[in-house]
């Protein structure tokens, strides 16, 4: 028996020894040939609602059940007031650093209770924090690159864990942990402690423990193939079948509603045919670029020859800031929120899902900016017809922007957008798609073997996974490019007439007032 399968057998023996009930219809299986490591295979057909396995809470590793508090009981109270993440990092770090030594086969006395479990956890990872710059470059232009957090090195100079050890522990927790609902005994015990000490009211989460759950984390995950779910009872955790599983098929859990980019960042893998929850992102910078170009088409030939621009980046940023302030004000007035809780309209990026849906903030922003563009375009044409000089540069009229904002708010609520908005929306989507390399335009291969050269290096696998992420994002953008779901497209004319009519009335009112003042 090779080392991989020997570790699997020792782990399964440990599970049985510690009262884990395992269905005879499943077994631990080696899926390394498809880059999935260990998984669970169905040895026979499994029907919905059948038990796959039952775990006693005694084998779950968390702040309430670990070697650290057995050695130092007074630590428990301190662990319970910590953030769940930090607490689990401390206890798992203690198990790995001080209670787990695979090379010492004789020191059973000092071994972690979870030794056989820790022994099957991976020591190589593909999460993005482990990629080098050359490998990360294969993910361009994905916005996932902006969400790789390598901060915190300084904090570990005086820590028992090195930064590398901390990264390993944190990666294992991110990849394998569960939020386990507390049993009644745990809740009752904490309530008793709270009564004894009123100062312990800083505990963050009263309903669950972030936990390592041996065997439950052996299941691989797939958003399309998910066929099992973990159910919590007072003293057990039960993995239950939710769809028919045929003999020879893999048993899959799911890691929440993540796109491939997030699956890679958090867990170090991708779904080869795309995640059910994939989306592409439109960076704010792309929206800025398209609109600034549109506004600068309003420049006069004279301005163009002089190198002048109608809309500068600085002026456009000021416009976005004003629009965002209007959104915050609306959110405060309408929803009764505090300013720091109010929803903002100007985001770093905007999601376009593979379902064809886009987030409402993107539609709203493009419609507001498109209407501003059309109104200013009309005014430039009017000035030209009157033989007066066009404006040399964009000037922000706060009253006009406020009126446009409120009109568009009503328009979007009625599920309508203008044709100009849709035209620019498509320009923005196309501009974003043009930033992707040709490989992103190819269909999914669906076979991990395509990732592996004959020597099957980690580098080749990472490059392949990066290509899958880019395909996931590109296809999502493509599905959103031809329509804005649930919105009816209307002509711009009526909306713009209403806005301009009010603007002309306001302007005439100001002129008449000024004339009266001058006569007096």
Tell me the pLDDT of the chain (520 aa) as tens digits: 799 999 999 999 999 999 999 999 999 999 988 888 999 999 999 999 999 999 999 999 999 999 999 999 999 999 999 999 999 999 999 999 888 775 555 556 678 999 999 999 998 899 999 999 999 999 999 999 999 976 655 455 556 778 888 889 999 999 999 999 987 655 555 554 444 444 444 444 568 999 999 999 999 999 999 999 999 999 999 999 999 999 999 999 988 899 999 999 999 999 999 999 999 999 999 999 999 999 998 765 555 555 567 899 999 999 999 999 999 999 888 888 888 888 899 999 999 999 999 999 999 999 999 999 999 888 877 776 665 565 667 888 999 999 999 999 999 999 999 999 999 999 999 999 999 999 999 999 876 555 544 446 889 999 999 999 999 999 999 999 999 999 999 998 888 888 887 666 655 554 444 555 555 5
- The verdict on 290 and 196 lying in the same domain is no
Structure tokens at 87: 């607490």
Distance of CA 52 to the CA centre of its chain: 30
- The verdict on 389 and 497 lying in the same domain is yes
Pairwise CA distance, residues 489 & 506, whole Å? 29
**Is residue 9 domain-resident?**
no
Please give the biggest Cα pair distance in the chain: 105
Q: State which H helix or E strand residue 231 sits in.
A: strand 228-232
**Is residue 133 domain-resident?**
yes
Write the DSSP symbol of residue 471. H
- The verdict on 200 and 299 lying in the same domain is no
Number of domains in the chain: 2
**Is residue 375 domain-resident?**
yes
Name residue 51's beta-bridge partners: 240
pTM for the whole thing? 0.87
Name the one residue in this structure whose structure tokens are 């990092």: 89
- The verdict on 294 and 441 lying in the same domain is yes
DSSP string, 31-75: -GGGT--EEEEESS-B-TT-EEEEEEGGG-BBTTBSHHHHH-TTH
**Is residue 184 domain-resident?**
yes
Distance of CA 442 to the CA centre of its chain: 24
**Is residue 30 domain-resident?**
no
The parent domain of residue 170 ranges over: 61-212
**Is residue 31 domain-resident?**
no
Single residue among 168, 184, 212 that ends a domain in this structure: 212
């Amino acid at each position: 028996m090779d080392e991989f399968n020997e570790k699997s057998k020792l782990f399964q023996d440990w599970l049985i020894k510690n009262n884990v009930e395992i269905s005879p219809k499943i077994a631990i299986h080696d899926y390394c040939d498809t880059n999935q490591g260990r998984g669970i295979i169905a040895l026979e057909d499994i029907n919905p609602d059948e038990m796959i396995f039952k775990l006693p809470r005694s084998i779950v590793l968390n702040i309430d059940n670990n070697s650290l508090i057995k050695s130092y009981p007074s630590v428990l109270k301190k662990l319970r007031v910590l953030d769940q993440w930090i607490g689990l990092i401390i206890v798992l770090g203690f198990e790995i650093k001080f209670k787990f030594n695979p090379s010492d086969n004789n020191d059973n006395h000092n071994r972690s209770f979870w030794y056989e479990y820790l022994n099957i956890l991976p020591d190589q990872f593909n999460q993005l924090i482990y990629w080098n710059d050359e490998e990360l470059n294969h993910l361009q232009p994905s916005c996932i690159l902006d969400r790789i957090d390598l901060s915190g090195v300084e904090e570990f100079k005086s820590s028992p864990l090195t930064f590398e050890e901390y990264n390993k522990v944190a990666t294992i927790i991110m990849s394998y942990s569960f939020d386990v609902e507390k049993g009644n005994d745990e809740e009752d015990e904490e309530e008793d402690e709270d009564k004894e000490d009123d100062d312990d009211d800083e505990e963050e989460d009263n309903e669950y423990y972030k936990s390592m759950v041996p065997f439950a984390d052996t299941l691989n995950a797939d958003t399309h193939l998910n066929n099992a779910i973990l159910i919590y009872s007072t003293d057990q955790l039960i993995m239950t079948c939710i769809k028919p599983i045929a003999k020879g098929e893999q048993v899959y859990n799911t890691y929440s509603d993540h796109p491939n980019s997030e699956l890679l960042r958090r867990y170090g893998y991708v779904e080869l045919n795309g995640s059910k929850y994939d989306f592409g992102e439109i960076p704010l910078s792309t929206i800025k670029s398209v609109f600034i170009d549109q506004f600068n088409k309003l420049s006069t030939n004279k301005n163009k020859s002089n190198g002048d621009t109608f809309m500068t980046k600085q002026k456009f940023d000021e416009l976005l800031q004003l629009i965002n302030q209007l959104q915050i004000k609306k959110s405060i007035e309408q929803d009764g929120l505090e300013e720091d809780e109010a929803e903002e309209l100007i985001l770093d990026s905007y999601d376009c899902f593979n379902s064809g849906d886009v987030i409402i903030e993107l539609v709203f922003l493009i419609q507001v900016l498109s209407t501003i563009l059309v109104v200013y375009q009309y005014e430039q044409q009017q000035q030209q017809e009157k033989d007066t000089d066009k404006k040399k540069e964009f000037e922000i009229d706060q009253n006009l922007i406020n009126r446009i904002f409120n009109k568009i708010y009503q328009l979007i609520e009625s599920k309508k957008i203008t044709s100009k908005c849709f035209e620019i929306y498509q320009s923005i989507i196309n501009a974003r798609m043009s930033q992707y390399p040709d490989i992103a335009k190819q269909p999914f291969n669906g076979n991990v073997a395509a990732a592996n050269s004959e020597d099957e290096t980690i580098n080749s696998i990472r490059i392949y996974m990066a290509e899958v992420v880019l395909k996931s994002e590109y296809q999502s953008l493509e599905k959103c490019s031809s329509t804005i779901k649930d919105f009816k497209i209307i002509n711009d004319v009526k909306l713009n007439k209403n806005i301009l009519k009010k603007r002309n009335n306001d302007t005439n009112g100001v002129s008449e007032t000024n004339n009266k003042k001058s006569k007096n």
